Structure 1
């Protein structure tokens, strides 16, 4: 029960933090000019979404902390035991990082709430982007990177931070892209091209940082089938490959078809919207696998 709760809290927090960063980043490359009338429509959708995701992130962060305390005491009562919670926050590196992340999350909730209720259409969102990026990237300091030491730990944390930010840019951006495509506007084609350009950068960052993380956590090719951790990692790689195939089909098959016929209701446009939903579903499954991986000992530690 405790382990299931911990996995569930991890999943909710990863999903909320990644989506929050991705949707916050989306306007910076999708609508680079602040005079685009479609930016107003996106902002009216984005503000409540950001607030909801920020709220989900802080609630799931609190649940994650509670289940860590319960796991430490071996009883569900530890989740609400002030002494157990205090011990986790003050006596563990995880707790010290988590205390800072909770304060950061509270700040983001306050900022997104202010943006949500404000009557101004173009309030600066740069601060929210920076804070949501920090919330996501600092997850790298709470997982398996804690087992590394010295300069190697610094490199591991940096690689994991890049991995998280790239994944968030892609995963969260897909939800904003789905909103734009549902609008069936001619502007959506230009946005799709810009999202595709961002996707190239995100995929390159994911592959590069993923190889570094694998070196730390798996160690060798022979370890890839040796442990439950590495086997689950292969499942994650399979799901990631599925996302890549859908993204490649979008870029090299459907986008050229839409350039020839930009009708929002043709076969290519309908398939594109289905592919975006498919990428979202695969992304959710990847986050589920990541939530499970965090509870297992890395393959390199079992070799």
Structure 2
């Protein structure tokens, strides 16, 4: 029961912080103009405020789960203040937790700027959300090494987290734009086409970062070996994750090279004749987002396994 609770909290925290980071980042590299920020569809202020608040709540839950695990007490009710104090002030994962809590609080304050200075607000939220997301590197396998190897491993883990957050945030942004396609079809189609085109270059960087850091993490965790990859729980989950990642790459390529130009073509030929393109894009995004959710579940699970013992 405790293991599944740990996995569930990790999954929720990963998802929440990735959205908090990825959504404003998408707005920044696609729609930098403050006037467009103000009048168009990327109005997810309340969603970001909710994500920051939920992130604080989930961080508190994760600390309670960690404290129970490290102290060995049978129930959460047996936890005492000195246990939390020892973890937060005396361990790297505790210090990272403290940095995450501060970053999330500052992100919430930064969101107050969105009504008057949207560009500055999005920039600050993205920076603080990046810090909060990066702090999760100390709660995974990236913190298992020491010295220079440990720094390299942590850097690879953090880059992997940020790249995944950028991808998940883009998927969420496209879903929000699609949601209002019936109310304002023409402008939404323009925004979607612009977003798909803008994500193309960023998506290439994201994919390259995920691939390179994924290989580096595997090498640093289990070394240059394939032994036990099929027979161990860790290896099996990792193979499933890789398969889903490959499927997401295929879907992203379809979105970029077929559906984006299709939207523009529909608009150029006859305004309003966009239904088939929207349906195709919505189906593709549903499959891609579903794969991303499953991958996050697997990541949350993998982080609780000892890969050395499994392999």
TM-score by length of 1: 0.90
Q: Distance in 1 between matches of 2:265 and 2:41?
A: 26
User: How much is the aligned-residue C-alpha RMSD, in angstroms?
Assistant: 2.1
- Residue 39 of structure 1 and its aligned partner are, at CA, apart by 4.6
1:147 — aligned with what?
144
- Residue 123 of structure 1 and its aligned partner are, at CA, apart by 5.5
Of 103-112 and 148-157, more deviation after overlay is shown by 103-112
Of 157-166 and 253-262, more deviation after overlay is shown by 253-262
Give the number of aligned pairs: 297
Aligned partners of 2:99 and 2:132 also within 8 Å: no
Report 1:172-211 matches (<5 A).
172-182=169-179, 183=181, 184=185, 185=187, 186-188=189-191, 189-211=193-215
Q: Which runs of 5+ in 1 are unaligned?
A: none
1:282 paired residue among 280, 284, 291: 291
1:48 — aligned with what?
46
Query: Secondary structure of the residue that 2:35 maps to in structure 1?
Result: coil
1:212 aligns to 2:216 (yes or no)? yes
Aligned partners of 2:266 and 2:274 also within 8 Å: no
Deviations 1:140-196 (A, max 9, x none): 122112211111111111111111111000101111122223333242212221123
Query: Secondary structure of the residue that 2:229 maps to in structure 1?
Result: helix
Q: Distance in 1 between matches of 2:90 and 2:113?
A: 36
Q: 1:10 to 1:34 in 2, by over 3 A?
A: same
1:97 aligns to 2:96 (yes or no)? yes
Aligned partners of 2:248 and 2:291 also within 8 Å: yes
- Residue 232 of structure 1 and its aligned partner are, at CA, apart by 0.8
Query: Secondary structure of the residue that 1:111 maps to in structure 2?
Result: helix
1:245 aligns to 2:253 (yes or no)? no
Report 1:76-95 matches (<5 A).
76-77=75-76, 80-95=79-94
1:170 — aligned with what?
167
Aligned partners of 2:190 and 2:264 also within 8 Å: no
Q: Which runs of 5+ in 2 are unaligned?
A: none
Of 141-150 and 47-56, more deviation after overlay is shown by 141-150
Q: 1:264 to 1:296 in 2, by over 3 A?
A: farther
- Residue 277 of structure 1 and its aligned partner are, at CA, apart by 2.1
Query: Secondary structure of the residue that 1:222 maps to in structure 2?
Result: coil
Of 219-228 and 238-247, more deviation after overlay is shown by 219-228
- Residue 197 of structure 1 and its aligned partner are, at CA, apart by 2.4
Q: Distance in 2 between matches of 1:32 and 1:123?
A: 7
1:124 aligns to 2:128 (yes or no)? no
Aligned partners of 1:69 and 1:84 also within 8 Å: yes
Aligned partners of 1:69 and 1:85 also within 8 Å: yes
1:57 — aligned with what?
55
Aligned partners of 1:78 and 1:84 also within 8 Å: no
Q: Distance in 2 between matches of 1:111 and 1:31?
A: 19
Q: Distance in 2 between matches of 1:120 and 1:58?
A: 25
1:7 — aligned with what?
7
